[in-house]
Structure 1
């Protein structure tokens, strides 16, 4: 069955696309004409249309643990927050059809990005300008599209397994700006193939770096490829592309030299040297009550109290509000802007560390971990990490990923990819409002549900189990 305009599941995305058409279709004023390449540059510069990632991952991860009655009561007593509590407790439904909050804004926002990218990729070849100018803009759009599909496939599809990826349900694969194509879900393998093709085909036309982290560069494409291959369990390719990304971008912020972070002494996201491509979670900052991230005891034990990531990025619950205890993620409020969830220099370093650990090279695994950790402690507190075996080195890499990326979505992705490995396999439990919830390694709840309202509009869109 083919969808029609009135019943399109991506209603919000269609509206954005329609807005894009209007943006380049104002001929009477002589400024914005669809065959002028400069207009697509303006569109890409409107970064709000390209930065969005789903904002559900951190709530589902074991990095947070909501135990204060003040917070749980607020989250469960308002339908507006149902998606938060539902993702936190791994429910089969996040958005209740027929309710005032039946639409999955995460899904819609990511497909908005894809449709904006499709507009640029498909229309630019017919515009004026040089071939080089057009190729560069198309390349930027391909990087954004690849990032959107990578985050979507790690939300709404099973983790990548080579043996089943060609049959596991992926996502509707939309590569043109038409609204009359099928929404049947392509396989997980097809989605990853598209991501890799978009990124590899974009590299030649991209600059090495950009003035602002919101604009894709060669470093961005390499970093996205490293991230992509990591979640395909292809550690050799992940390491190769992490190397290429680090050859262009490798600066770390020295947290040991900072006593407290503010908007004036910590770099803004768009120029932060650690950020390789700036991406933001849908919904913006969640550092305010009642949706603030209360960090789990397990994570806090891993961090320890001398780690600057603990001292600079977390605060006591009383800072959040009355009735809040423990420690909360606070970096967003301290620096005054939403956290970056895009690829970063630390991520590339830890991808390399994992590659070496998985290839029995303990020395190099620890070398890459310690290059990062040197910048995460005051000099008097820093002690190089050691490992007794490749298995111990790998465990330490995964723990370091938790320390570095809490509040930045990657822990949930790691829980998904590691759940089939005996060394990391576990059953998670949490209690919310008096009810205990369990997430077993073989649970379908590692895949987020597709909103019923989307399926109602388009029966072709197969639901997740």
Structure 2
């Protein structure tokens, strides 16, 4: 076991993610390490090149962006396959979205096994580190479920659907078997609910999960599972624990990149794997989405840059750079709270959370609180603001998968290339990515229908 861990534990993976940006310098020295102390575990869990990144292909497959036929020809096969929802979107390529998530789970399990054997006196610190490892593992499970498993079913039967491979040990030779979708979510929640009781209230670094981040992730998971009471309560706790807020009126709104990395809006920092699609000059924001930003809505200028007449690129990310943000923010938590309470019938509280968000997103002199919104009108406005606030973060794919299960919210996606139309129907098998070819060959797990 010791030799195996030494071979696998590479604590600095240069060039995979942040390149020369000097992310969170100084990084651990490149080298190999067998974790044995709490400092070793902290060093492992602070590997931002491993833990603070997440799936990219679902961002290409969703409807936030479109591209031209010319730009499509310049994409790699993975981007092309994801963009057009092709039957074989990989064409034999390695899939980072899968590999990195399971690397995160493996590293988290190594940390957890090390902590189980801890006999020192820093018990509180050891418990906090356990909470961090469980959070990272849950974060990886969540993204795997949104991409490689069917959407959680509002009407039940989740125990009859295949979920993901759950890994409870840091043993790469363990047999692989897909748990049911119900058991996959149960395993995620078991780890995450333990994590929120162990995480510290303040970590000092937004790349490390705090208790507010733990509750924020719980809120995101419960919303995906249609458990609005638990989602709303978790979002409220996270917002009570995390006191920072960002008023877009304070931004240099004319700047190409008005946000700072680790700014006050960020509860937990994570980015999507880098890909050419997000940076492409001919990757444009959906025109109907652009039109939904009213006069005085500062998000239109903060998020987007007018490139050609009527065509906008997304340039404003909460990374402060071209890297695409995918972590947890105050705005997302306010919208989870608003949607959850609206669906539970507490419309006054839902409207309070919606107004709290929008007051910080509109020009002060042009903002008037929303009043008298009720029923479907209130819910529709919340869902619209969710689309406008969370554009380009990898969240839209999950929203499409869950909202397609509700009458009146279904949406057909359409791409047009060289005059040919490609369609993604609500509930299509293409809303579930195939298990990567090399995993099928290695383990023989069942493939997703496509």
TM-score by length of 2: 0.88
Q: Is the 8 A contact 1:56 1:87 kept in 2?
A: yes
Shift of 1:305: 4.8
- Most deviating of 425-434 and 257-266: 257-266
Q: In the aligned structure 2, how far is the partner of 1:151 from the partner of 1:38?
A: 28
- Tell me the secondary structure at the aligned position of residue 408 of structure 1: coil
2:290 aligns with one of 290, 296, 300: 300
Any stretches of 5+ residues in structure 2 without a counterpart? 13-31
Q: Is the 8 A contact 1:250 1:274 kept in 2?
A: no
Any stretches of 5+ residues in structure 1 without a counterpart? 1-14, 24-30, 319-323
Q: Is the 8 A contact 2:235 2:334 kept in 1?
A: yes
Q: In the aligned structure 2, how far is the partner of 1:333 from the partner of 1:128?
A: 40
Shift of 1:268: 1.6
Per-residue deviation, residues 224-270 of structure 1 (Å, max 9, x unmatched): 1111100000000001111111111143211123243659963323x
| Mapping for residues 189-268 of structure 1, pairs under 5 Å | 189-260=182-253, 266-268=259-261
Q: Is the 8 A contact 2:432 2:448 kept in 1?
A: no
- Residue 132 of structure 1 pairs with residue 124 of structure 2: yes
- Tell me the secondary structure at the aligned position of residue 405 of structure 2: coil
Q: Name the structure 1 match of 2:21.
A: none
Q: Cα gap change, 1:265/1:412 in structure 2, threshold over 3 Å: closer, same or farther? A: closer
Q: In the aligned structure 2, how far is the partner of 1:220 from the partner of 1:333?
A: 16
- Residue 343 of structure 1 pairs with residue 351 of structure 2: no
1:141 aligns with one of 133, 142, 148: 133
| Larger relative contact order (Cα-Cα within 8 Å, sequence gap ≥ 6) | 1
- Tell me the secondary structure at the aligned position of residue 303 of structure 1: coil
Shift of 1:210: 1.5
Q: Cα gap change, 1:448/1:184 in structure 2, threshold over 3 Å: closer, same or farther? A: same
- Tell me the secondary structure at the aligned position of residue 131 of structure 2: helix
The CA RMSD measured in Å over matched residues stands at 2.5
Shift of 1:147: 0.6
1:115 aligns with one of 106, 130, 134: 106
Aligned residues: 426
1:424 aligns with one of 402, 409, 424: 409
Per-residue deviation, residues 51-85 of structure 1 (Å, max 9, x unmatched): 1210122211221122x3xxx3233245xx22222
- Residue 90 of structure 1 pairs with residue 85 of structure 2: yes
TM-score by length of 1: 0.85
